[in-house]
Amino acid sequence: MTDVLGFLSWPLLLVGAYVIGSIPSAQLLARLKGIDLTQEGTGNVGAGNLTALAGKPWGIAAAILDGLKGLGPVLFARFVLDLGIASSGIACLAAVVGHCWSIFMRGRSGRGLATSAGLMIALDPGLMVWITGWSVAGWRIGGGFAGFLGWGLLPLFALALGRPGTEVLFLLLLTSVLLGRRAQGNADALGGASNFLRRAIYDSDAEEGGDYREPADEATTS
């Protein structure tokens, strides 16, 4: 029986993390204010859009809840299932995927940053110095571009600090998910390689005439 439970622990962790990550915290809070995030503001189901529509306290609450969606599964994987750092991270990457493409929202939802931050706090809190630094820098150089540098270069930063290769591999997977979701954009996002690249780097999209809209969400996007 113990062997069976051990065999099932990995797929159950993946499914459980995905379902937990799929819970649309910002949308649920927005509904309490009579707001549908999919129809208002940027259309993004995340803390940034909720902040713009309902105020900072609501956005902060959503970001905390989204962070817990990444924190909880990693702590469970590490201290209950006794998985290593890389194994816990790869398994709980499902929580970030769930946030970005929620089964409850039937498609794309948030950007996954707050959930990823919660995951990293549990997985390797030392690396949060790098991420937090770029979040602060976002006030000067733009939240979208700072987010790209902070998360996009995180695997290289981890490699420079001598983190294990398995952890660096996990961070590459995490970065790919986050940038892939940014490149996808919102439901009305324009197609084309240049727009995909623009969104991945700046989290913004082009309008007719060549001008660009503001980033889909600020640095607090979840």
pLDDT tens for residues 134-186? Answer: 988 888 888 889 999 999 999 999 999 999 999 999 999 999 999 999 998 87
Domain count, the chain: 1
* Residue 42 pLDDT exceeds 90: no
Given a cut of 80, whether residue 208 has pLDDT beyond it is no
pLDDT score for 171: 95
Average pLDDT of the residues in 97-116 = 90
Does a structural domain hold residue 214?
Answer: no
What residue type is assigned to position 164 of the chain?
A: P
Q: How far apart are CA 51 and CA 136, in angstroms?
A: 17
* pLDDT > 80? residue 55: yes
Q: Are strands 101-102 and 107-108 parallel, antiparallel or unpaired?
A: antiparallel
Residue 216 has pLDDT above 70, yes or no: no
Distance CA 62, CA 213 (A): 24
Buried b (16+ CB within 10 A) or exposed e, 168-178: bebbeebbebb
Q: Is the pLDDT of residue 16 over 90?
A: yes
Dihedral of CA atoms 9, 15, 20, 23 in degrees, nearest 10, equals -170
The pLDDT value given to residue 206: 58
Q: What whole-number distance in Å separates Cα of residue 181 and Cα of residue 219?
A: 15
Q: What HEC string does 92-107 produce?
A: HHHHHHHHHEECCCCE
- The answer to whether the beta carbons of residues 42 and 49 sit under 8 Å apart is yes
In this structure, is residue 218 part of a structural domain? Answer: no
Q: Which helix (H) or strand (E) holds 205?
A: none
Averaged confidence pLDDT in the chain: 85
Domain extent, residue 116, equals 2-202
Question: Tokens at residue 182, please?
Answer: 């940014």
* Residue 208 counted as domain residue: no
Q: Provide the token pair at 176.
A: 């790919």
Q: Please tell me the pTM assigned to this model.
A: 0.86
In a domain, 108, yes or no: yes
Domain presence at residue 115: yes
Confidence of residue 119 (pLDDT cuts 50, 70, 90): very high
pLDDT digits (tens, 9 = 90+) for 78-103: 988 888 888 888 888 999 999 999 99
Residue 98 lies in a domain: yes
The dihedral sign for the CA sequence 46, 49, 50, 55:
positive
Q: Is 80 a domain residue? A: yes
**Assigned domain for 22 exists:** yes
